[in-house]
Amino acid sequence: MNQHAIQNLTLFDLLARSWRRPSAIADLRFSTDDSTVAFTCMDGTVAIAAVADQESPESRIRVSGDLGQTTIRPREKLPAPLIATAALGDGDIPLASYLRSSFLVGTAAGEAVHLTADGSVMETLVKIDGPIVAIDHSRQPAMTAVSNGQDVFLSRGHGDAVRLRHGAAPSTDALAFSPGGRRLAYGLEDGLSIWNVESDATLISVISFSARPVSIRWSGDGTWLACGLETGGFALVSVTDGRADLVERFPSPVRTVCWSLPENALFTSGAFRIAGWSMTAPPLRGDASGALETGRAGLVPVETVAAHPEKKLIAAGYTDGRITIAQIGARDELLVRPLGGEIAALAWSGDGRHLAVGSVDGTAAIVTFPAQMFK
């Protein structure tokens, strides 16, 4: 590699292991123990990567003896290939972390199957009529929730799935357990249904929105819910007292929402910069006093966001393929990747050392940051 090429390398080129899949990446998950990442693709397959890096960034860092300048040399070898499954569905298939290093996948045959780190399809935990379009698993109570687009089913361990109903309103493809698994929220055509699932499942509340939820995220303490809506921004719900409000007037749909535990803050995609609010002053009834101006405003909307689990940092992916990491409440940004395929999914590992990336051009990647980068 000549000197000119080395100078043109981006941070993504130096820190990331990337692969190209034959179809768009739809979603991704780290395993519970952070040893693997699973990428779901629009062709119905799942691709699995090991997080361990044989050429870690730390092993390629050099500090010059005279000037003390730190550099990182490019990788010398291609990363180990992904492990890919056969098609398990007709398009984007739902995915959840399971056990320590495995995953649960919802199939077109209505089965929630155990997918191991080596790509093997093992036992079926849940079987329902119709294709599974949404899935979540709560490890502590060993409960699995699935939806076929009309009904939501709850299964404990390997037990039979119990249907949850509320009137005739169909459920959608968004559902999520609260931290600890005491409650389950799932989307309706124009709202949200919240259930207590500790013992016998009981309905807590039904909340109406102006549009269909496309994503549901609980706050770390389980007291708030944020829902990205198909149109019209996002909804914020206080589980403790039932307060709910819509935050609207976004220039593009809010596909993703995330919670920062270190900052006690909420962040969303859908704006021309990273949109965020401190939950000491939640954005209810038009209150903007808790707004956190994070990162730089631009001309391209943020497509997805992910909050660092330990530091006051937010990763953002844009429709033009740019990836940045911003300090919460500051304009400072680290440009990880300047351009590429539209970012479809981002997620941090539990220890905050790795950022998994999925793009609509089929790029799957794991960016590993040296420990000294985020002090």
pLDDT in tens, 124-181: 999 999 999 999 999 989 999 999 999 999 999 887 899 987 566 677 789 999 999 9
- Evaluate if residue 72 carries a pLDDT over 80: yes
Across the range 180-189, mean pLDDT stands at 95
273, 298 Cβ separation under 8 angstroms: yes
* Predicted local confidence at residue 169, as pLDDT: 66
pLDDT band at 69 (very low <50, low <70, confident <90, very high): confident
* Predicted local confidence at residue 60, as pLDDT: 92
The structure's pTM equals 0.95
* Predicted local confidence at residue 68, as pLDDT: 66
* Predicted local confidence at residue 368, as pLDDT: 97
* Predicted local confidence at residue 4, as pLDDT: 40
* Predicted local confidence at residue 166, as pLDDT: 59
Closest CA to 323 of 7, 18, 2, 4: 18
* Predicted local confidence at residue 261, as pLDDT: 96
Q: Which amino acid is at 320?
A: D
> Tens digit of pLDDT for each residue in 200-245?
899 999 999 989 999 999 999 999 999 999 988 999 999 999 899 9
pLDDT band at 63 (very low <50, low <70, confident <90, very high): confident
- Evaluate if residue 1 carries a pLDDT over 60: no
Across the range 272-292, mean pLDDT stands at 96
181, 197 Cβ separation under 8 angstroms: yes
- Evaluate if residue 330 carries a pLDDT over 50: yes
Count Cα neighbours of 16 within 13 Å in the Cβ-side half-sphere. 20
Q: Return the biggest CA–CA distance within the chain.
A: 74
Across the range 338-357, mean pLDDT stands at 97
Instruction: Give Cα 96 to chain centroid, integer Å.
Output: 10
- Evaluate if residue 2 carries a pLDDT over 60: no
* Predicted local confidence at residue 168, as pLDDT: 62
- Evaluate if residue 3 carries a pLDDT over 50: no
The mean pLDDT value of the chain amounts to 93
Instruction: Please tell me the distance from the alpha carbon of residue 225 to that of residue 195, in angstroms, as a whole number.
Output: 13
* Predicted local confidence at residue 171, as pLDDT: 72
* Predicted local confidence at residue 372, as pLDDT: 80
- Evaluate if residue 111 carries a pLDDT over 60: yes
> Tens digit of pLDDT for each residue in 6-37?
458 999 999 999 999 999 999 999 999 999 99
Instruction: Please tell me the distance from the alpha carbon of residue 326 to that of residue 318, in angstroms, as a whole number.
Output: 13
> Tens digit of pLDDT for each residue in 100-109?
999 999 999 9
Across the range 338-351, mean pLDDT stands at 97
- Evaluate if residue 98 carries a pLDDT over 70: yes
Backbone angles phi, psi at 218, to 5 degrees: -85, 145
Across the range 259-264, mean pLDDT stands at 97
